[in-house]
Amino acid sequence: MPSVHSATYDLLRHHGLTTVFGNPGSNELPFLKNFPEDFRYILALQEAVVLGIADGYAQASGQPALVNLHAAAGTGNAMGALTNALSAHSPLVVTAGQQVRESIGVEPLLTNVDAALLPRPLVKWSHEPASAGDVPRAFSQAIHLAALPPAGPVYLSIPYDDWDRPAAEQAAHLVERRVHGRAQPPAALIAELAERLHGARNPVLILGAEVDTPGAYAAAVALADRQRLPVWAAPSIPRCPFPTTHPGFRGLLPAGMASIARLLEGHDLILVIGAPVFRYHQFDPGACLPAGAALVAILDDPLEASRPLMGEAILGDPQLSLEALLALLPASSRPAPQALPAPPALTGDAPGGMAPEQVFDIVAELAPADAVYVNESTSTTAALWQRLPMRHPRSYFFPAAGGLGFGIAAAIGAQLALPQRQVIGLIGDGSANYAITGLWTAVQYRIPAIFVILNNGTYGALRWFAGQLRAEQVPGLDVPGIDFCALAAGYGMRALKASDAAGLRDALRAALEAGEPMLIEVSTRFG
């Protein structure tokens, strides 16, 4: 009879989970012993970075990723990063070691006390198997549940003496299981919506991160073209669901209630696909919809469908729903939306460092057409969306819940998942410090992501909020005196500094030609 260890590795292999993202402790060593040659282990130096790398990998690949953490301490370190993974619907199977099963009751050191409660509410499901023999089945459930809509992280705590125990006799059947979860809304609802959309006077399409898959992305472009729809990206979006170079693209909606209503003024039908309605941030009281507008949302998360203040929601897979609408809709005679004027280019050098807009213009000028951007320069997000061309699915990643430490880590994970494309992280100096140890992982595994650090010596987003909230004389907003090139060198990474446009062009060209991980520190000014 196979052991729990061999049965679990067979299951992981069958599902393609042959990369383990981790930082091991003593409780995890029995799981990792005799590590199979067809698996790879990606080590990061702190658990939040482990989780962030796996998050970037899962989002970029569209497949579940396996995380191995050290009991309660490692889980605790990773929980800030779990907020982003949950909000982004990232399919993660997060495992943690547990003390020997018969000793858990006396709580020896490194016991994961109440293990299933620890990561809640930041996971879809959390479990510690009641017996060793049930471990492979629990892994099977975790893998399927992480991937089922709405996708998201799940958590398993495994006592470390379970691995050598015999698996249950039925474990061999687990590799044959298939669980299918993509659902199409009822045909009558789609037909009614198609009629409303075609008959609307001035409809608008708002797309969310769940449209950022190759099939749904193409279907969204086809729907926008056939119905001549202006298209917005949903507020606080973690991925880009539509080409920003398309003439119908209007940009990223702000994360304020009244601000969104003002921008949508004049539209009689607002169709939202693959996004919560809406993920606000700053308190912006006012009307949640413009007068005379109806809103219909299609999404696959029951919580997000039931939570909004307004409109109606239809549960369904975004791609299948888009394709079903396309099958019913003829071409519209409405005028096609015209492309918005490009923002003015910034030229010349100014004291105090480069403007972030100038940085983005140079990146857009030199980066490959299919570059992947990881954004954690949160105070400059609006400018980034205006200036960086994103033409393909899986071209943009952002911390979905606003938890810092995502950028460096997710860029590494995305580059691992998309080795044929160049990943460029655009990361603020405040954000970079949360995951700076990720540079070591990029060097050790030769992951050729490029990290552009926009260094203005302050937490720019907080500076902006301080002005909005009229919060004066607030401590802790500045972070001066950090030499990112020196930090990168300490982890073995090549690094270059740039203080003007010519220097940034030279540094970025060198990084793009190097084929290795590199950091570019750019002096920028705030405001």
Residue from 25, 74, 403, 425 carrying the catalytic annotation: 25
398 assigned to some structural domain: yes
Of the residues 5, 15, 70, 127, only one is catalytic, namely 70
Q: Which of 76, 215, 311, 402 is catalytic?
A: 402
Q: Give 425's strand partners.
A: 374, 451
- The whole-number pLDDT of residue 472 equals 67
Q: Are residues 76 and 207 in the same domain?
A: no
The catalytic residue among 5, 15, 22, 28 is 28
276 plus 299 within the same structural domain = yes
321-359 residue pLDDT tens: 999 999 999 999 999 999 999 998 887 666 678 999 999
Burial 493-525 (b: 16+ CB within 10 A, else e): bbbbbbeebebbeebbeebbeeeebbbbbbbbe
Counting Cα atoms < 13 Å in the Cβ hemisphere of 132 gives: 19
The answer to whether the beta carbons of residues 115 and 154 sit under 8 Å apart is no
Report pLDDT digits (tens) over 224-262.
999 999 999 999 999 999 999 999 999 999 999 999 999
State the residue range of the domain holding 275.
Answer: 187-328
Residue with tokens 């979860």: 181
CATH number at residue 424: 3.40.50.970
Q: Are 167 and 129 in contact (CB under 8 A)?
A: no
Instruction: Look at residue 470 and tell me if it is in a domain.
Output: yes
Of the residues 15, 47, 152, 198, only one is catalytic, namely 47
Say if residue 157 is in the same domain as residue 17. Answer: yes
71 HSE (CA, 13 A, CB side)? 19
Helix-helix angle 47-61:71-87, to 10 degrees: 40
Distance CA 171, CA 8 (A): 9
Q: Which residue, among 367, 377, 379, has the nearest Cα to 397 in the 3D structure?
A: 377
User: Residue 166 forms beta bridges with which residues?
Assistant: 3
* 402 tagged catalytic: yes
**Same-domain pairing of 425 and 495:** yes
**∠ Cα 446 447 448 (to 5°):** 105
Question: Would you say residue 362 lies in a domain?
Answer: yes
Give the residue, 344 or 315, on which the prediction is more confident.
315
* Lookup result for tokens 């270059």: 496
Share of the chain above pLDDT 90, in %: 90
- Say what the pLDDT of residue 96 is: 97
Q: Which residue has the higher pLDDT, 345 or 516?
A: 516
Look at residue 479 in the predicted model and tell me its pLDDT: 67
Of 176, 199, 218, which residue constitutes the final position of a domain?
Answer: 176
Provide the residue count of the chain: 527
Task: Supply 335's token pair.
Answer: 């005028």
Write down the pLDDT at residue 469.
56
Does 404 share its domain with 511?
yes
Mark whether 385 and 317 lie in a shared domain: no
Confidence of residue 58 (pLDDT cuts 50, 70, 90): very high
Q: Is 47 a catalytic residue?
A: yes
Instruction: Identify whether 337 is part of a domain.
Output: no
> Structure tokens of 136?
């492979």
pLDDT digits (tens, 9 = 90+) for 134-178: 999 999 999 999 999 999 999 999 999 999 999 988 888 999 999
- Give the Å distances, CA to CA, from 358 to 108, 316, 497: 56, 41, 16
Q: Tell me, yes or no, if 492 is annotated catalytic.
A: no
Note whether residue 84 is domain-resident: yes
- Distance, CA of 102 to CA of 90 (rounded, Å): 34
Q: Tell whether 333 is covered by a domain.
A: no
26 among known catalytic residues: yes
Enter the tokens of residue 131: 């017996």
What string of H, E and C letters represents the secondary structure of 212-262?
Answer: CCHHHHHHHHHHHHHHCCCEEECCCCCECCCCCCCCCEEEECCCCHHHHHH
For the question of residue 281 being annotated catalytic, the response is yes
141 and 196 in one domain? Answer: no
What local confidence, expressed as pLDDT, does residue 458 receive? 58
111 lies in the same domain as 219: no
Looking at residue 346, its pLDDT comes to 80
Active site annotation includes 304? no
Q: What is the pTM of this model?
A: 0.95
More confident residue, 465 or 100: 100
Phi then psi dihedrals of residue 257, to 5 deg: -60, -55
Residues 23 and 172 in one domain: yes
Say what the pLDDT of residue 493 is. 98
Active site residue 152: no
Residue 295's domain is classified under what CATH number?
A: 3.40.50.1220
Determine the residue type at 63: Q
Catalytic: which of 173, 199, 266, 281? 281
466 lies in some domain: yes
Boundary-marking domain end, from 176, 196, 228: 176
Tell me, yes or no, whether 400 and 512 share the same domain: yes
pLDDT band at 462, cuts 50/70/90?
A: very low
- Cα separation, 228 vs 349, in Å, equals 41
pLDDT above 90 (res 463): no
For residue 349, being part of any structural domain is answered with: no
Digit-coded pLDDT (tens) for 390-442: 999 999 999 999 999 999 999 999 999 999 999 999 999 999 999 999 999 99
Taking residue 300's Cβ as centre, other Cβ atoms within 10 Å add up to 22
Residue 42 pLDDT: 98
Domain count, the chain: 3
Q: Is residue 17 domain-shared with residue 126, that is, in the same domain? A: yes
Residues 148 and 25 in one domain: yes
Q: Which residue among 125, 144, 176 closes a domain?
A: 176
